[in-house]
Amino acid sequence: MGLLFLPMFMYVWQHFQRPSLTNTQKILFTGIEYKRRVRKKPRPVVIHIVSINLKAAGIKIFVTPPVNQQSQFTQARTTSDFLKEFRLQLAINANYFYPFHENTPWDYYPRIGDIVRTVGQAISNGKPYGNPDANWYVACIASNNLIQILKSGSCPDNTLQGIAGREILVTDGKPTVTDNFQDKPYSRVAIATNQQGDKLWLIAVDGKQPLYSEGLKKTELTNILLELGVEVALNLDGGGSTTLVMEKDGQPKLLNSPSHTKIPMRERPVANHIGFYAEVMGNR
């Protein structure tokens, strides 16, 4: 009987590990602020907003590297593993990727260490990998930490770090998506910047968790981005990949509630991430 009840107990336990359903706002690191916003209507949803001053002392950006300098592939990692391996202070998942399947809690791909490939271009410390796609957008970070989001499918030659996403949600401070019957509430990730390219926002929306957080439509996410005053915003891989992690006392700490294989607080191994080095403050 114990073997039968153990999986159920673990599943219920994970529910109680999720972030509390309360609004919060705090400085995580020098130049990095975090907000959690909880909404009850038109459905339960938990939204995580990180704003980063790219001019702040100590801020550096890093994208998951390929297997080696000659490779176009990466090894799948959870976002927590990425943060811990490279001793970062903050990280979030980035590109869509393949191969991928998720059938049951024990039948899924990739697992940690499996070989995968990003959809669209990625760049880590000046090394590009993945196939550039002219129909996809790229977020490109130069050595001076300035970021630009482009439709070219590939970043300029002087790009130090880069990731790719499926579509633009905001451009020139105006929405670019419209409501339609295919726009369903979902777990989502977006990256956005201001006109000068020296401020960056990361948005993670929890979803697929009834009564806790059921996600946002793209149009709803776009409205939040417009309220923040972003100039350009790019939609990244969401769903069960949605994971936002910070460093606390040398260990990863989940800021959101990922839902890999429909299990709350279970992280999905993904192809790549975008992470941030930052100066640790006294009290967090």
Q: Are strands 137-142 and 147-150 parallel, antiparallel or unpaired?
A: antiparallel
The yes-or-no verdict on residue 211 having pLDDT over 80 is: yes
Residue with the larger pLDDT of the pair 45 and 3: 45
Provide the 8-state DSSP code for 153: S
CA angle 271, 277, 282 (to 5 degrees): 135
Tokens of 156: 């300029």
Give which of 169, 176, 179, 155 is closest to 201, Cα–Cα.
169
C-beta of residue 186 within 8 angstroms of C-beta of residue 164: no
pLDDT greater than 70 at residue 163: yes
Between the CA of residue 222 and those of 86, 175, 239, what are the distances in Å?
A: 32, 7, 17
Q: What is the pLDDT of residues 28-66, one digit of tens each?
A: 999 999 999 999 999 999 999 999 999 999 999 999 999
pLDDT at 3: 46
Letter string b/e over residues 86-105, b meaning 16 or more CB atoms within 10 A of that residue's CB? eebbbbbbbbbbeebeeeee
pLDDT in tens, 65-100: 999 999 999 999 999 999 999 999 999 999 999 999
- Mean pLDDT over the full length of the chain: 94
Tokens 């970062």, located at residue: 88
Split at pLDDT 50, 70, 90, the class of 110 is: very high
Bridge partners for 167 per DSSP: 235
Amino acid letter for position 169: L
Is the whole model's pTM more than 0.85, yes or no? yes
More confident residue, 260 or 13: 260
Quote the pLDDT of residue 181.
77
pLDDT score of 137 more than 50:
yes
Please report the pLDDT score of residue 180 as a whole number.
81
Question: What share of the chain in percent tops pLDDT 70?
Answer: 95
Task: Please list, residue by residue across 255-272, b when 16 or more beta carbons sit within 10 angstroms of its beta carbon and e when fewer do.
Answer: bbbbbbeebbbbbbbbbb
Q: Which residues contact 23 (CB under 8 A, 6 or more apart)?
A: 35, 36, 37, 38
